[in-house]
């Protein structure tokens, strides 16, 4: 019997390490220390209900476990074989406890390829990875395949880059393989900068060997002997696990000289990012790895021709790499049987925002948004109404209820005015103001623009200012035209992917929620009631009992009125802090 | 470059040289050198940047350019309890801005500043990848999840 304790970032933050320790202690006390293993795994994907403990082979899925629960799990489940009902996951639609993870709606629609080992193995033990066909694919490559064979398999599989743009991976490898040089590099882009996306982190934390193996396979295919992983310094746990994994792989002869006795040699080093979103762009990433400012340069030359240190380099994202070993093991026919015509396989999405099951999911391409949000995600929090979902982060756009039944793949998302991006999916409900959301993303872009090209550096700042005017109630209809015009100029003239996509959140919210923009500029009203400057607090005379709580709490003395008489808010003085609303026990303060 | 003037002691310079040596004084290792140096000193004031530049034999402007480009590097010392509020999208839609405002109000600090007694510093960061706990606040190594503005006073009390 195994007790799997989630060691992903979210669960760790809720003290899952303490739970693992308590479980071990309980088992020791009962004399079961040798028979039942407690394993810290990578992310299970159901972060909302963390910390998660899974009992195998029973598949019992315990949620929101506390260290104190260790005693009952050991006494009841491990010893008596009776699952602890109160800790089992509850199906939100039926309110019933679910006995096994296989029956959970959030898992039933998923196909886990990139995440195949996350939550199932101990990421700090190479033997567990090997036991699940780990390093079999690199073995197959060096013994049975030529480099060209490997490229053919990846090309035929239809795998496309999971980092954002969806460029065909096999084609990228082929280009890099054709460029002759004394040294080539395989680069793994683990600079996950899209706020709200955390799939790369989960793969690296939960299954680091899958990425190492894939990089070696890529090295074999393109003729490179060196691999570099560019990872965010903000991901200490992922860095630690990668270091352990690289050390173990070297000890086993799976990295280093003459891998598995062949004449292929390959080794991997880490390079640290330092918090710059633009470094997700491959030319900027390469400059950053060279110790410089992470500013992008014009393509061509593409990294496949002249990349790291001027040598041909192949850059792929973590999730793309994580899919590679399975494709080699199971064959391209299997992989290309999943998904849609032009987007094969699966995609990992980080589901977050106003949704019941925040977490990481992996679904076949072609699934609909409805299935993701209402079946896997368990619907909107607090029974609110679904409004939109932002995909593709600051480079993407929003999808609304009109798109709920559109099959999701690279091309359909672009057609709908958004993009796949790295796979962040932020769900918004009726309380979210779309103008504010656009402003939020632009604030991010302004901060992250590297400043090299003018349209991005200055243009985005101007857009941000216009959006600020609008959310403060100072915008005009002419501003909306100006806004749209400027967005197109920035898209057309920026140097790199950051500027070429940064206006997308504005354009897409304008396309889908123009009525909200118009309400802000003509009626000076925020339909979602979220823009503070457009709010108006008033006191309903009939409800006010004159307790004076609001007047005493008002920081600017804007509220007047005698004790036991209805009170009044002076709109000139009011700073819209909401203190009166929070203090009123009689529901007499109205927000408009 | 910075309003803070410090004098580097000999052992500080030795430490910087040691770090540069450990990376073979390679110019392409500048970012790794800066990571290690900041880990040791807590921040990267102008004087430290000058020492690194002379050791790696590159212009100070290049070091300064890199330090100011990346948000992870800082030229002002952080507080003993650095407070970071996640402003990733998931935290934002779940009310991170109100939490940040509350911290600003309670500490009378702006983002990027440190209290005069050097106890707290306030910063915002982008997505720590714990979106299940949104909104998230980090104080030092400790993570606080599902923080509401009302919780801020209690959280700060833990550090009194």
Residue B4, in any domain of the structure: no
Who contacts A106 (Cβ-Cβ below 8 Å, separation ≥6)?
A45, A46, A357, A359, A361, A375, A376, A377, A378
Q: A198 and B134: CB-CB below 8 Å?
A: no
Helix/strand/coil for A93: coil
Residue B106, in any domain of the structure: yes
Report CA A208 to chain centroid distance, whole Å.
17
User: B100 with B55, same domain?
Assistant: no
Nearest residue on chain A to B26, judged by CA atoms? A291
Residues of chain B in contact with residue A193, where contact means CB-CB under 8 angstroms, are: 126
Single out the residue of A205, A192, A200 nearest to residue A43, CA to CA: A205
Return averaged pLDDT per consecutive 10 residues of chain A, 592 residues in all: 88 88 93 90 86 89 93 93 90 79 76 92 95 96 97 97 90 96 96 85 94 98 97 88 97 96 96 90 95 93 94 96 97 96 94 89 95 91 93 91 94 91 91 94 93 96 97 95 97 94 96 96 91 88 91 90 92 86 89 78
What domains can be seen in chain A, in order of their start residue?
2-105 (3.40.30.10), 126-335 (3.40.50.11540), 346-429 (3.10.20.600), 434-522 (1.20.1440.230), 535-591 (3.30.70.20)
Q: A421: left (phi > 0), else alpha (psi -120 to 50), else beta?
A: left
Who contacts A18 (Cβ-Cβ below 8 Å, separation ≥6)?
A67
Q: Does B153 touch chain A (CB under 8 A)?
A: no
User: B47 with B89, same domain?
Assistant: no
Instruction: Give the phi and the psi of residue A269 in degrees, each rounded to 5.
Output: -125, 165
For position A9, what pLDDT does the model report? Answer: 80
Tokens of A376: 């896997």
Provide the β-strand partners of residue A368. Answer: A407
ipTM above 0.95, yes or no: no
Q: Is the separation of the CB atoms in A265 and A258 below 8 Å?
A: yes
A18-23 long-range contacts, CB within 8 A, separation 24+: A18/A67, A19/A51, A19/A53, A19/A65, A19/A66, A19/A67, A19/A69, A19/A70, A21/A67, A22/A67, A22/A68, A22/A70, A22/A71, A23/A53, A23/A70, A23/A73, A23/A74
Tokens of B98: 């109100």
Q: A274 and B127: CB-CB below 8 Å?
A: no
User: B132 with B93, same domain?
Assistant: yes
Residues of chain A in contact with residue B132, where contact means CB-CB under 8 angstroms, are: 10, 46-50, 352, 358-359
Partner-chain residue, chosen from A192, A274, A426, that has the shortest CB–CB distance to B89: A426
Q: B145 and A13: CB-CB below 8 Å?
A: yes
Q: Is the separation of the CB atoms in A231 and A273 below 8 Å?
A: yes
- For residue A98, what is the DSSP state? P
Provide the β-strand partners of residue A359. Answer: A351
Nearest residue on chain A to B129, judged by CA atoms? A198
Q: B129 and A450: CB-CB below 8 Å?
A: no
Q: B128 and A234: CB-CB below 8 Å?
A: yes
Which of B69, B90, B120 corresponds to the end of one domain? B69
Dihedral angle computed from the Cα positions of residues A388, A394, A395 and A400, in that order, rounded to the nearest 10 degrees: 0
* Half-sphere exposure (Cβ direction) of A376: Cα atoms closer than 13 Å: 29
Residues of chain B in contact with residue A288, where contact means CB-CB under 8 angstroms, are: 31
Residue B151, in any domain of the structure: yes
How many domains, chain B? 2
CATH code for position B121: 3.40.30.10
Q: A293 and B66: CB-CB below 8 Å?
A: yes
Where b means 16+ CB within 10 Å and e means fewer, A151-170 reads bbbbbbbbbbbbbbbbebbb
Which residues 21-60 of B have a C-beta within 8 angstroms of A? 26-32, 34-35
Integer Cα distance of A398 and A109 in angstroms? 23
Nearest residue on chain B to A358, judged by CA atoms? B132
Residues of chain B in contact with residue A292, where contact means CB-CB under 8 angstroms, are: 30, 62, 66
Residue B111, in any domain of the structure: yes
Q: Does B65 touch chain A (CB under 8 A)?
A: yes
**Exposed/middle/buried for residue A7 (C-beta within 10 Å: 0-12, 13-18, 19+):** buried
**Exposed/middle/buried for residue A57 (C-beta within 10 Å: 0-12, 13-18, 19+):** exposed
User: B89 with B45, same domain?
Assistant: no
Q: A440 and B89: CB-CB below 8 Å?
A: yes
Residues of chain B in contact with residue A14, where contact means CB-CB under 8 angstroms, are: 133, 145
Partner-chain residue, chosen from B69, B73, B88, that has the shortest CB–CB distance to A196: B88
For position A434, what pLDDT does the model report? Answer: 95
Q: A288 and B27: CB-CB below 8 Å?
A: no
Report CA A325 to chain centroid distance, whole Å.
22
Residues of chain A in contact with residue B125, where contact means CB-CB under 8 angstroms, are: 234, 275
Q: B31 and A196: CB-CB below 8 Å?
A: no
Q: Is the separation of the CB atoms in A138 and A268 below 8 Å?
A: no
- A274, A355, A439, A528, best to mutate vs chain B, most B CBs in 10 Å: A274
Residue B16, in any domain of the structure: yes
For position A322, what pLDDT does the model report? Answer: 97
Residues of chain A in contact with residue B139, where contact means CB-CB under 8 angstroms, are: none
User: B22 with B87, same domain?
Assistant: no
Partner-chain residue, chosen from B94, B125, B143, that has the shortest CB–CB distance to A13: B143
Pairing of strands A346-353, A226-232: unpaired
Integer Cα distance of B42 and B81 in angstroms? 12
Instruction: Give the phi and the psi of residue B81 in degrees, each rounded to 5.
Output: -120, 85
User: B151 with B118, same domain?
Assistant: yes
Nearest residue on chain B to A202, judged by CA atoms? B129
Residues of chain A in contact with residue B65, where contact means CB-CB under 8 angstroms, are: 293
User: B89 with B152, same domain?
Assistant: yes
pLDDT (mean) for B77-101: 90
The maximal CA–CA distance of chain B, rounded, in angstroms, is: 52
For position A103, what pLDDT does the model report? Answer: 67
Residues of chain A in contact with residue B143, where contact means CB-CB under 8 angstroms, are: 13
For position A346, what pLDDT does the model report? Answer: 96
Residues of chain A in contact with residue B127, where contact means CB-CB under 8 angstroms, are: 194-198
User: B14 with B63, same domain?
Assistant: yes
Answer whether residue B21 shows pLDDT above 90. yes
Residue B74, in any domain of the structure: no
Range of the domain at B17: 10-69
Residues of chain A in contact with residue B88, where contact means CB-CB under 8 angstroms, are: 195-196
Q: Tally C-beta pairs within 8 A across A and B.
A: 128
Integer Cα distance of B12 and A464 in angstroms? 43
Partner-chain residue, chosen from A9, A235, A274, that has the shortest CB–CB distance to B31: A274
**How close A84 gets to chain B, by Cα (Å)?**
24
Q: A9 and B129: CB-CB below 8 Å?
A: yes
Nearest residue on chain A to B143, judged by CA atoms? A13
Integer Cα distance of A120 and A206 in angstroms? 8
- A6, A10, A45, A231, best to mutate vs chain B, most B CBs in 10 Å: A10
User: B50 with B104, same domain?
Assistant: no
Residues of chain A in contact with residue B31, where contact means CB-CB under 8 angstroms, are: 271-272, 274, 288, 291
Integer Cα distance of A93 and A307 in angstroms? 52
Residues of chain A in contact with residue B95, where contact means CB-CB under 8 angstroms, are: none
- For residue A367, what is the DSSP state? -
User: B85 with B151, same domain?
Assistant: yes
User: B87 with B117, same domain?
Assistant: yes
DSSP symbols for A492-557? HH-SSHHHHHTTHHHHHHHHH-HHHHHHHHHS---TTS--GGG--EEE-TTT-----HHHHH-TT-
Which of B69, B95, B117 corresponds to the end of one domain? B69
Tokens of A126: 């190479």
Q: B127 and A288: CB-CB below 8 Å?
A: no
User: B98 with B146, same domain?
Assistant: yes
């Amino acid at each position: 019997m195994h007790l799997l304790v989630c060691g992903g970032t979210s669960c760790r933050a809720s003290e899952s390490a303490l739970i693992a320790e308590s479980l071990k202690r309980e088992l020791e006390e009962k004399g079961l220390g040798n028979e039942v293993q407690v394993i810290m795994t990578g992310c299970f994907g159901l972060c909302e209900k963390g910390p998660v403990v899974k009992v195998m082979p029973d598949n019992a899925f315990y949620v929101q476990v506390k260290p104190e629960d260790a005693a009952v799990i050991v006494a009841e489940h491990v010893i008596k074989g009776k699952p602890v009902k109160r800790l089992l996951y509850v199906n939100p639609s039926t309110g019933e406890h679910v006995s096994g993870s296989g029956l959970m709606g959030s898992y039933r629609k998923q196909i886990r390829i990139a995440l195949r080992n996350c939550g199932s193995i101990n990421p700090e033990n190479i033997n567990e990875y090997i036991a699940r066909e780990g390093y079999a694919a690199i073995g197959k490559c060096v013994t049975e395949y030529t480099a060209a064979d490997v490229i053919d398999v990846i090309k035929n599989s239809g795998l496309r880059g999971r980092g954002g743009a969806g460029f065909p991976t096999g084609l990228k490898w082929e280009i890099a393989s054709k460029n002759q040089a004394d040294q080539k590099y395989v680069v793994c882009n683990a600079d996950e900068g899209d706020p709200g996306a955390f799939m790369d982190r989960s793969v690296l934390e939960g299954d680091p060997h899958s990425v190492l193996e894939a990089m070696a396979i890529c090295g074999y295919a393109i003729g490179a002997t060196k691999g570099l992983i560019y990872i965010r310094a903000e991901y200490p746990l992922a860095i630690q696990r990668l270091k352990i994994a690289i050390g173990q792989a070297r000890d086993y002869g799976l990295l280093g000289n003459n891998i598995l006795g062949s004449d292929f040699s390959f080794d991997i080093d880490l390079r640290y990012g330092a918090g710059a979103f633009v470094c997700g762009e491959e030319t900027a990433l390469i400059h950053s790895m060279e110790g410089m400012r992470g500013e992008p340069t014009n393509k061509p030359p593409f990294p496949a021709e002249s990349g790291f240190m001027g040598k041909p380099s192949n850059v792929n994202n973590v999730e793309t790499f994580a899919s590679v070993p399975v494709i080699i093991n199971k064959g391209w026919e299997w992989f290309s049987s999943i998904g849609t015509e032009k987007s094969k396989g699966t995609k990992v999405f980080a589901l977050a925002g106003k949704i019941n099951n925040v977490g990481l999911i992996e679904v076949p391409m072609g699934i609909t948004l409805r299935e993701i949000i209402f079946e896997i995600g368990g619907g909107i929090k607090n029974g609110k109404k679904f409004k939109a979902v932002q995909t593709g982060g600051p480079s993407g756009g929003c999808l609304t209820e009109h798109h709920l039944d559109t099959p999701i793949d690279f091309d359909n998302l672009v057609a709908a005015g958004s993009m796949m991006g790295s796979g962040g999916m932020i769900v918004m409900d009726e309380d979210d103001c779309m103008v504010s959301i656009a402003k939020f993303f632009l604030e991010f872009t302004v901060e992250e623009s590297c400043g090299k090209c003018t349209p991005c550096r200055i243009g985005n700042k101007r857009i941000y200012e216009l959006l600020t005017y609008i959310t403060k109630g100072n915008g005009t209809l002419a501003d909306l035209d100006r806004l749209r015009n400027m967005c197109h100029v920035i898209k057309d003239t920026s140097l790199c992917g950051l500027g070429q996509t940064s206006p997308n959140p504005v354009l897409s919210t304008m396309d889908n929620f123009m009525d909200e923009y118009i309400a802000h500029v003509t009626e000076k009203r925020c339909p979602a009631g979220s823009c503070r400057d457009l709010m108006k607090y008033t006191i309903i005379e009939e409800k006010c009992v004159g307790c004076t709580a609001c007047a005493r709490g008002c920081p600017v003395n804007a509220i007047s009125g005698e004790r036991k008489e209805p009170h009044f808010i002076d709109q000139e003085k009011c700073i819209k802090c909401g203190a009166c609303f929070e203090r009123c026990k009689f529901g007499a303060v109205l927000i408009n | 470059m910075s309003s803070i003037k410090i004098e580097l002691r000999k052992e500080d310079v030795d430490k910087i040289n040691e770090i540069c040596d450990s990376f073979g004084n390679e110019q392409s290792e500048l970012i790794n050198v800066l990571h290690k140096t900041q880990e040791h000193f807590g921040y990267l004031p102008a004087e430290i940047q000058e020492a690194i530049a002379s050791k790696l034999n590159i212009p100070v402007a290049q070091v300064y350019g890199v330090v100011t480009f990346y948000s992870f590097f800082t030229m002002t010392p952080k507080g003993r309890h650095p407070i970071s509020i996640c402003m990733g999208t998931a935290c934002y839609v779940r009310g991170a801005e109100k939490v940040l405002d509350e911290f600003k109000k309670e500490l009378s600090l702006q983002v990027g500043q440190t209290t005069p007694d050097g106890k707290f510093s306030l910063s915002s960061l982008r997505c720590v990848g714990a979106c299940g706990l949104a909104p998230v606040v980090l104080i030092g190594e400790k993570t606080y999840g599902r923080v509401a503005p009302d919780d801020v006073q209690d959280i700060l009390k833990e550090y009194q």
